[in-house]
Structure 1
Amino acid sequence: MAFISSFKVGRETVYPESLRERLRGFPLLADVGDAALRRLLSEANWFGLPGGMLLKRDGENHRALFLVVTGSLGVFVDDEKGGKRLVAHIPAGETVGEMSLISGEDSHSAQLVALRDTELLRISQEGFESLIARHPLVMMNLMRVLVKRLQETTQSPSDKVRPKTFALIPLQEGLGDEPIARRIASVLVQMGSKAAVLDANSAEQSAEWFNAFEAAHDVVFYRGDAPDSAWTQLCLRQADRILLLADADRPLPLRPLDLPAFKERATGLPQLLLLHRSGNTEELPEHFALRSGLFESHHHVRAHNMDDIRRLARFIAGRAIGLVLAGGGARGFAHIGVIKALMEAGVPFDNLGGTSMGGIIAAGIALEWSLDELIARTREVFVKSNPLSDYTIPLIALVRGKKVSSLLREHFGDIRIEEMPRPFFCVSSDLTSGRIHVHRAGPLWRALRASVALPGILPPVTHHGHLLVDGGVMNNLPVDVMAQRSTGPIIASDVTGELDIRVTDERYGERPWWWLVWQRMRGSPSILSILMRSGTVGSEAQRRLVREQVNYLFEPPLPDIGLRDWKKFDQAVAEGYEHAQGVIEKHGVPLTDVWAEGPAVTLPHRR
């Protein structure tokens, strides 16, 4: 890749006229005239920053203004897990560093990283002050730039920055000609995006050419060839996001990231695309478990399965649909009705998660069970079998839990979460650490067993010395967990409603046992009902808070269905379906806008 060239004439650095024309398009330099441009160039220093490299803010860069001529920079901050999170994108034609010039502060809380090969002009504080002293219009333009950024931040509080360029790098021989990039690009075009694929034939193009090409498209795939080729290195430097392609039938390389361009990148981990020629996602490649920590996430792509390609395209376009289902005991059966209505409306589910009963139902969808299979299995487990019927001496719980474990293993088998065709998670509450535990790997049945372990009713699940109980204790509607990795709108079904427990006798807890038995026959809460409600009431504030992150919310009213009304399965499904149909009909089924064309929409009924 060739950069803009400059040369010396005496002591003056001379830049090509193309650079002067480009600078005229900077908002900072709007209408300033040729004299101001000449002054700026006399004060500026040009340099290139390879993609993935950190812009160090010391020495000459300590307090300076940077103009992004070609390429782009990413603004990264530390996240709660010790990694880096991209919070802003600075494309060509923009500036950065203004605040340090104005405020005089020395600290830089964020890091600037080249998202692709980038050319910059650096102006020192002294040079900038000299420029604005002679050309005050530059300072006025700077104020306009800062005000516009403040307005954009206020109007669009989301801190998610959508990646635009993707490097697709084969990890094994024989995958260089795999047409997956072109298949994804074709779907993106059908969705209304401008998408294109570049290969090694473009290797000799200039940085300016790549900048213009990316500006003309919404998504660009850089398809690499040999891992150590010059073209692959360029692909990695140009990419906002790296996708590694691997054949699931062959072992992963023991050191898949042992490449110079990987080591030099200051941005996040790559994503892994597992190509399944057999169509079976349970066949993971050798060394996968040992290398899974090297990847941010992974996607299963089954040969000749266009649904997988469409799903991957939605993830890339930032339109993947996340479905989150709340816990709620028997009331959770209503989720099935909501799902049925959404399926009839043609809504795809790309990313699934839930708590307790919601986690179980979401797992069935992530395993691609048909609606009939989901209904049949749920009815078998909860209606016909009554999993909470193996009572025991209540030393740690009222129920032994073996029946629940046996039923979960029977219906979910030995499949691991990372083997599921679609991304899935469920949550449990860690009594040892006092934090939410998010299950994204490991045996599915055991994760679900932890997610439904209501304290006092089912025994906790042990995990590396920690005690895990029902996720509803701390987070009954884990929308926030979905939002951490979601690339698009989130649909949630919350069956908690206005569920409460009421008694009219002020001395209810002091009455003799025979009186309580009589009251129980008249509908007073039992010990199981009290324990089940106690297991979720603590997360009410959290549930209300995360609802603000939902794009489309369903709240089936279930006034006659309690947490343990297992026999009301059909009624709950029907009421969930009726509610969802009504919501969809009322709002004109605008859901297709979410993933087909146009930006994600926030519907007016969200609360």
Structure 2
Amino acid sequence: MNVEFFLRSHPLFGALPASLVAELAARARTRAVAAGEILCREGDAAESVYVLLSGRIEVERDGKGAVASLGRRGELMGEMSILTGNPRSATLRAELPSELLEIPASAFQQALDRSPDLGLRLAQVLSLRLSGAASPPSSTRRPCYAGFLMAGPQRVPAARALAAQMVGVLGRPVLVYDLGATQNAPGLLQTLSNVPVEGQEQFVRTLAQQNPTGVTELTGTIREDHWSYFLSILRETYDRVVFGIPIPFFQPIHKTVCEACDVLVPVCGREIPADSAVEKLRALGKPMVVARTQGRARAPWVGFAGVSDLAIPASEEDVADPKALAPIARKLLGRSIGVALGSGAARGYAHIGVLEELEREKLPIDYVAGTSMGSVLGGLYAAGRSPAEMAEFSRDASRLRAIFSLLDLAIPTSGLLRGRRVEKHFRKLMGDVEIERLPRPFRTVATDVLTGEEVVLDRGPLWKAIRASISLPCLFEPARHGSRYLVDGGVTNPIPVNHLLDLGADRTIAVNVTAGPPQGARAPGILTVMMNSIYTLQTLVSDARSSLADVTIVPEFGGLSWTDFAKAPEMIEAGRAAVRRALPEIRRLVT
């Protein structure tokens, strides 16, 4: 970097005599610091003044963590101690890999002595800073930088499509920059080197081209040793950037860019990132949202800390379809939505009405979790079945003949029903689709009847997981799952909102269908006694679990009972009505 040119274009040093600028440049040195590295400590003697070239620096005082975050290029740090002669008043730590210009205290003091104008300008800067009238620090405008990692020729159009979806949500420009070009060729930064520091942001805007979708694209190559500086310019110019990063990787430039990103989005299609590359990505400590193309299984490393996944409703060839990357865009912007469907036997049919009404409101559902009857309908929805299809299934299943056809009585050792016919029915309904290949991330739960532990079911055949989650104690024989004996998940977690959060949902909706047992005048039968006892206990747990959600939908069932399987249409309508009552809350959730 041309230090003398940088100082001449700096607002504070630019008015100094040329000879003095040359002397400062000769004595200054550039210093690179890694993320987490301490630049200076509170209480240290002041030996230097720092000017930020690129990156971001945290300011810590009294051991209480960061009190400010400085990311504006040209930001001056450490000058107060030089002026007062006191020790450092704060610790400076690199929040991101950063580069600074370090000016010795003696050189800075000599410049002050020889140029009254420098002292006057510095006093103005300090006055503005102390009064709070200075420009807001860049930390008030937290950028979202996404590294979009993909193999093949679809990377560039897919990155544009992702940015277009982000523009549609935000209503603000999103920049796309692809790293596929040869990065060591002369290019963009050589052009910028002739522009004063205070004009570089506007100059970058003039170089970028905006297409009709609102996506802004910047082209031109950046030398590897200039990237940190270029990223700093971008942070002051665009608060949303999508970097297209080719697979296979990992070149040094890829690491530099990935370190600057807030989130990484590797695409798993025909070519899945190699384990060694994934380990390098994970070592960066960045959140990852794995985008898997249609029909691809969840990558084995999804589920590690900070790693979630979302399915793209398109093949690898069609990944650049305008709507295919909408779930990823919502996740990057913190607006992904998950729905938890609670247990409730026949009342669970209300979930169909809830999903139908949410779709009518055009509410996108990115994650699904369910327990017991909620696992049946949630699993079908995650597999791509529509509420209309589920309503048709419910009408068929609610006929008495259909209900009785699923009953296979057992000698009552661990349950009245074997559950084999139910298994056969679910397998016919769902096929052998595996949970990790579902179009929407899905999770259900069951209960280990021997230990009382909650068991998370998020892999393997969908029908097997659902069979375990609906195994009402005493009614069904427990489902075998390895060495475990599993019963209804509602015993431990009737509304699994916490699993939506684990999957990665930013905003959550719970559907509680156990609230308010019906009042009846007739003497209850043995089945009613058993189910009312279980679901009355679940009601208490459901209230606590649903409190984790941003919005809770509670259908009103009147006299409809948990055992009224023949009244599916009335249950579905109760779900629709509950969503209509909750619409004000739901609409606030998505804005």
TM-score, structure 1 as length reference:
0.66
Q: Which of residues 231, 241, 266 in structure 2 aligns to 1:220?
A: 241
Relative to structure 1, is the Cα distance of residues 71 and 342 closer, same or farther in structure 2, using a 3 angstrom cutoff? same
Per-residue CA deviations over 1:222-268 (Å, capped at 9, x if unaligned) read 211351333322222212211112323x5663544254xx3642345
Q: CA RMSD in A?
A: 4.4
Distance (whole Å) between structure 2 residues aligned to residue 220 and residue 498 of structure 1: 49
Looking at structure 1, the residues matched to 94 and 460 of structure 2 have their Cα atoms a distance apart, in angstroms, of 34
Whether 1:92 and 2:111 are equivalent positions in the alignment is no
Q: Is the 8 A contact 1:433 1:466 kept in 2?
A: no
Q: Write out aligned runs for 1:57-206 (5 A).
A: 69=52, 70-72=54-56, 92=71, 114=95, 116-119=96-99, 164-170=144-150, 172=151, 174-175=152-153, 177-191=155-169, 192-200=171-179, 201=220, 203-204=222-223, 205-206=226-227
For residue 590 of structure 1, report the CA deviation from its aligned partner.
Answer: 6.7
Q: Is the 8 A contact 2:268 2:299 kept in 1?
A: no
> Aligned-pair distance for 1:444?
0.7
Equivalence for 1:321: 337
**Is 1:421 matched with 2:439?**
yes
Q: Which runs of structure 2 are paired with 1:335-374 in the superposition (5 Å)?
A: 335-374=351-390
Residue 331 of structure 1: how far off its partner (Å): 0.7
Amino acid at match of 1:455: P
Which secondary structure state, in structure 2, belongs to the residue aligned with residue 429 of structure 1? strand
Give matches, 1:256-275, under 5 Å.
256-257=277-278, 259=280, 262=281, 264-268=283-287, 270-275=288-293
2:552 matched residue in structure 1: 553
Is the counterpart of residue 499 in structure 1 residue 517 in structure 2?
Answer: yes
Residues 453-489 of structure 1, C-alpha deviations (whole Å, 9 max, x = no match) = 1111112223332232211111111122212344432
Q: 1:472 to 1:257 in 2, by over 3 A?
A: same
Q: What is the aligned counterpart of 2:269 among 234, 247, 251?
A: 247
Q: Distance in 1 between matches of 2:100 and 2:473?
A: 58
Q: Is the 8 A contact 1:169 1:232 kept in 2?
A: no
Q: Structure 2 CA distance, aligned partners of 1:494 and 1:501?
A: 18
Change in Cα spacing, 1:546 to 1:291, as seen in structure 2 (3 Å) is closer
Q: Do the aligned residues in 2 keep the contact of 1:470 with 1:535 (CA within 8 Å)?
A: no
Match of 1:282 in 2: 295
AA aligned to 2:249 is P
Sort the Cα spacing of 1:345 and 1:292 in 2 relative to 1 into closer, same or farther, 3 A: closer
In the other structure, the counterpart of 1:483 is 501
Change (3 A) 1:468 1:559: same
**Paired residues of 1:74 and 1:89 also in contact (CA < 8 A):** yes
Distance 1:560 1:18, change over 3 A: farther
In structure 2, the CA distance between the partners of 1:482 and 1:246, relative to structure 1 (3 Å rule), is closer
Alignment check: 8 A CA contact 1:336 1:361 kept: yes
Alignment-derived partner of residue 296 in structure 1: 307
Query: Does residue 443 in structure 1 map to residue 461 in structure 2?
Result: yes
Which consecutive unaligned segments of at least 5 residues does structure 1 have? 8-14, 23-44, 76-86, 96-111, 123-134, 145-151, 153-160, 276-280, 503-521, 601-607
Q: Which residue is equivalent to 1:36? A: none
The 3 A distance-change label for structure 1 pair 290 and 312 is: closer
The CA distance in 2 between the partners of 1:18 and 1:531, in whole Å, is: 80
Report how far residue 404 of structure 1 moved: 1.5
State whether residues 356 and 388 of structure 2, in contact with CA within 8 Å, keep that contact through their aligned partners in structure 1: no
Cα distance between partner residues in 2 of 1:213 and 1:183 = 20
CA radius of gyration, larger in: 2
| Deviation for aligned residue 1:367 | 1.9
Asked if the contact 2:156–2:178 (Cα under 8 Å) also holds between the matched residues in 1, the reply is no
Matched, 1:463 2:494: no
- Whether the aligned pair in 2 keeps the contact of 1:223 and 1:235 (CA below 8 Å) is no
Partners of 2:458 and 2:142 in 1: CA distance: 23
Looking at structure 2, the residues matched to 334 and 68 of structure 1 have their Cα atoms a distance apart, in angstroms, of 61
Q: Distance in 1 between matches of 2:67 and 2:438?
A: 33
Local SS of the residue matching 1:386: helix
Partner of 1:310: 326
The answer to whether the Cα contact below 8 Å between 2:493 and 2:545 also exists between their aligned partners in 1 is: no
> Is this contact kept in 2: 1:113–1:267, CA < 8 A?
no
Deviation string 1:408-436 (CA, Å, 9 cap, x unpaired) is 11111100111111121112223455433
Q: Which residue of 1 aligns with 2:492?
A: 474
CA distance in structure 1 between the partners assigned to 2:69 and 2:495 by the alignment: 35
Alpha carbons of structure 1 residues 594 and 18: separation in structure 2 relative to 1, 3 Å: farther
Contact 1:300 1:308 in 2 (8 A): no
The number of residues matched between the two structures is 473
1:390 Cα shift? 1.8
Letter in 1 for 2:577: E
* CA deviation string 1:161-194 (max 9, x = no partner): 9981111223x4x247442111010111122243
Query: Which shifted more, 565-574 or 336-345?
Result: 336-345
- How far is 1:21 from its partner? 6.1
Q: 1:394, 1:74 → 2: CA distance?
A: 66
**Among the aligned pairs, what percent are the same residue?**
24
Instruction: Give the secondary structure class of the aligned counterpart of 2:253.
Output: helix
> Who is 1:210 aligned against?
231
Q: How far apart are residue 323 of structure 1 and its match? A: 1.4
The question of whether the paired residues in 1 share the 8 Å contact of 2:444 and 2:457 is answered with yes
**Kept in 1: contact 2:301–2:307 (CA 8 A):** no
* C-alpha contact 1:401 1:458 (8 A) present in aligned 2: yes
User: SS of 1:457's equivalent?
Assistant: strand
> Who is 1:604 aligned against?
none
Contact 2:266–2:273 (8 Å) recurs in 1:
no
Deviates more, 1:195-204 or 1:369-378: 195-204
Supply the distance in 2 between the matched residues of 1:73 and 1:470 (Cα, whole angstroms): 51
CA distance in 1, matches of 2:398, 2:43: 65
Q: Do the aligned partners of 2:227 and 2:256 also contact (CA within 8 Å) in 1? A: no
Q: Structure 1 residue 568: deviation in Å?
A: 0.9
Task: State how far apart, in whole Å, the 2-side matches of 1:223 and 1:499 are.
Answer: 54
> Which amino acid in the other structure matches residue 370 of structure 1?
S
8 A Cα contact 1:193 1:218, kept in partner:
no
Counterpart contact for 1:273–1:300, Cα < 8 Å: yes
1:359/1:71 CA distance change after superposition, 3 Å? farther
Contact 1:501/1:525, CA 8 A, preserved across alignment: no
Which residue in 2 is equivalent to 1:393? 411
